[in-house]
Every structure is written in C-alpha cells, then in structure tokens.
C-alpha cells in the first residue's frame, strides 16, 4: 500500500489525475481498475475518480510491492504475431485460447512470458496499440485463468470495452462461463454446488466453510457430458468465480478433477502421470456466452464463443474410451 499526503501544490485537482502522477508507470487500465475496486481512499474513505483533493488529506492506494516493481521495470515490447488461437476479434475485444502453462499476468517468478504481454506485442504488430504514445490505453485482460487451466480469456482493446467486460464478469448475470472437466467418479445427474469458499492467505489453499466463518458465497452448476469407465467429463457453469472454485467444489462433492495437485485424488493423479504423461488439472474454459447486454458491446448480445478442448486432452479421452 502507498500512503501520500496532499500538499498545497497538488490541491484542487481530481484524484484521478493525482493517482496517475503517483503511478506514472502504470497502465491507464490499471488506474481505473483501482477506482472500480475501491482501492483508492482519502482519509480512510473510498472516493470516485472525479473527487477533488485538498491540502493535508491522506491518500491510500492499495497496490502490492510486486505490482510496483512490475510498473517500474521497462516493458519489453516488440512487434510479433500471436502464437495462440484467436477465438474472436473485433475493434473492441480479443478472445484468446490460452494454453496450459501460460500465465495471464506475471508473478514473482515470471514477468515477461505472459499472455498479456503476447497480446500487447500482437496489437503493436497490427498497429492497434502504440506504447510510445502518452496516456495510451494498454490492452488488458478482463479476467484470469489459472496457469494450468486452458481456455478462453477475454481482452479489451480500449477503456470502454474494459469497463463493459469487467462489469459483466463482476455481475455474472449477462455472461456465462462454461468449463469442461474430467472428474473421478461416475456423475449420473447434474447438480448445483452452493458452498461458500475461503482462501487461506498463508497456504494459498481454498476450503469450503460457512459465511459466518468468512466464506464467500459460491455457486457452480455441473452437468455430466460423457462417461469413461470410472470418470465423467462434465460441463461446469461457473456462476460466481472464486479462486479455485471449480476444483474445490467438485472435490467437496466427491468428484475431484483429474490431475489436480491440490484438491485431487493423488492415486489417480499418479496413474494419469504414469499412463498418459499427464500432470495438470483436466480443466478447460471452453465457452463464453453473452446474454442481452447494453453499452458499447451490445452487438455481442446472444452470441456464444467456443474453443475446442486441447488435442492432448482429447487423446486421453480417446484412450479412456
């Protein structure tokens, strides 16, 4: 977190402008996201971007040390085509089929080889983004997938599109995300899993608990698609979207995701590693469906975009068959 005190020199300006100066290396998309997430406060109270600051006020910006380091580092941008499948693209958005093993954003270990950087290089290559322009909007993802989960990730090419996508993913009323997962066990009927989830800040693991004990409301709708001996390929409609939600919910109900190293069946995982050289969770975000939406992305209403399950996963299903 950054704490700043407004001086006479900086008073009587909008806080949006003040924060842009304080985080001059950060993309505009990140700045606006801070305000939307209520991560900018004045004297302990959340304010809107148009708030006019006064001398002596204390401003708190909730940002991690890792994020600050990333912004200070010179971004290595080069024109390059996108090495991944493009599911859909127009002037506002880009839907990319992310392979497993690729981070959407950087972390402490990997900052350069990320999907976000690859998309930026691609749009620079196409002439739709110029990093040399002052205050240029940096294309950004509107949501994330785990490193080892493959599937569709939505990027915004401009600020209006980012606002629209983030609101859709936040409210989860006018957009549906569907995943395919191979689980251990024979699931004969569909089920709704409504189980609050809480993440342990120390271990990074997520567990089912009560709302009273700090759990966040979480809902997954699961339907069986096909049976393979003692396994079931399922469709999961991720209604809420908490960290590790699908993996924790399915494990909680006795149908762990094959290959899940945190919440899975470790004996089955060993078997899949030995027989199929498969060591990651069998989970793919294959469908993104827009309902009736308004605003700059209204033209996407009632459209559904899909990506095929990765070939190596398909080969495993054939062998199980």
Residues labelled as active-site residues:
146
Contact 193, 220 (CB under 8 A): yes
Distance CA 255, CA 39 (A): 37
The CA distance from 198 to 190, in Å, is: 24
| Distinct helix (H) and strand (E) counts, the chain | 8, 16
Ramachandran area for residue 105 (φ above 0: left; ψ -120 to 50: alpha; else beta): beta
Region of residue 182 (phi > 0: left; psi between -120 and 50: alpha; otherwise: beta): beta
Sign of CA pseudo-dihedral 33, 38, 42, 44: negative
What whole-number distance in Å separates Cα of residue 112 and Cα of residue 226? 39
Q: Indicate the SS3 state at residue 82.
A: coil
- Closest alpha carbon to 223 in 264, 269, 189: 189
Q: How many CB atoms lie within 10 A of CB 223?
A: 13
Could you tell me where the beta strands, DSSP code E, fall in the chain? 2-5, 40-42, 45-46, 58-61, 86-89, 93-98, 140-141, 150-156, 175-184, 191-194, 197-199, 206-208, 219-228, 231-238, 283-290, 304-306
């Amino acid at each position: 977190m950054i704490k700043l005190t407004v001086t006479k020199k900086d008073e009587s300006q909008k806080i949006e402008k003040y924060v842009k100066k304080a985080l001059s290396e950060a993309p505009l998309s990140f700045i606006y996201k801070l305000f939307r997430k209520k991560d900018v406060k004045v004297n302990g109270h959340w304010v809107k971007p148009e708030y006019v600051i006064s001398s002596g006020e204390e401003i708190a910006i909730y940002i991690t040390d890792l994020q600050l380091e990333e912004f200070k580092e010179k971004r290595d941008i080069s024109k390059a085509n996108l090495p991944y499948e493009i599911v859909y693209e127009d002037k506002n958005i880009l839907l990319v089929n992310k392979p497993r093993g690729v981070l959407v954003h950087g972390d402490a270990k990997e900052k350069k080889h990320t999907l976000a950087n690859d998309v930026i290089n691609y749009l620079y290559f196409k002439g739709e983004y110029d990093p040399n322009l002052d205050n240029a909007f940096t294309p950004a993802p509107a949501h994330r997938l785990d490193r080892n989960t493959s599937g569709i990730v939505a990027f915004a090419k401009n600020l209006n599109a980012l606002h629209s996508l983030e609101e859709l993913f936040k409210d989860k009323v006018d957009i549906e995300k569907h995943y395919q997962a191979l689980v251990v066990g024979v699931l004969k009927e569909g089920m709704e899993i409504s189980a609050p989830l809480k993440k342990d800040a120390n271990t990074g693991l997520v567990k089912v608990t009560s709302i009273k004990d700090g759990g966040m409301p979480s809902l997954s709708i699961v339907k069986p698609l096909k049976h393979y001996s003692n396994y079931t390929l399922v469709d999961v409609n991720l209604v809420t979207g908490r960290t590790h939600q699908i993996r924790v919910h399915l494990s909680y109900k006795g149908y762990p995701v094959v290959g899940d190293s945190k919440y899975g069946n470790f004996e089955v995982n060993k078997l899949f590693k030995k027989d199929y050289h498969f060591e990651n969770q069998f989970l793919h975000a294959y469908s993104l469906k827009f309902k009736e939406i308004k605003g700059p992305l209204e033209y996407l209403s009632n459209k559904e975009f899909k990506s095929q399950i990765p070939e190596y996963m398909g080969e495993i299903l054939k062998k199980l068959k």
